[in-house]
Amino acid sequence: MRQNYKTEFRFFDYEIPTIPEGFTDSSWHNNICPSFERKLTEDTYVTLWVNYADEDRREMGGKQFFLTILPYDDLCNDVEFILETDSWDEIISKIDEIWGKA
């Protein structure tokens, strides 16, 4: 079976809406929550993180959705946080802005 957020986070408490075009499920059970990534440039990618709806289940607190940019050859040392929000619409608007759809 192919790895995805439903297999990696079996007890996840949020039904994730349709993920924007171009993103692939990169969820891994050792991460804090499900993630989806899309190549931004030859050397970087954008990751959409979807945290638990229940704030008490969020490993590091914070907002439910966040976007990061990370170089392909990096292991989270140079992560750039683009947006953290509790609004799905706001996260989608930011993604559209990044890819020139806004």
| pLDDT at residue 97 is higher than 90 | yes
- The pTM (predicted TM-score) of the whole model is 0.90
Question: Residue 23: which pLDDT band, with cuts at 50, 70 and 90?
Answer: very high
Q: In terms of DSSP bridges, do strands 35-39 and 24-25 run parallel, antiparallel, or are they unpaired?
A: antiparallel
30: left (phi over 0), alpha (psi -120 to 50) or beta: alpha
Mean pLDDT, range 2-19, rounded to an integer: 94
Question: Residue 61: which pLDDT band, with cuts at 50, 70 and 90?
Answer: confident
| pLDDT at residue 102 is higher than 60 | no
Q: Which domain holds residue 12?
A: 5-98
- What total of structural domains would you count in the chain? 1
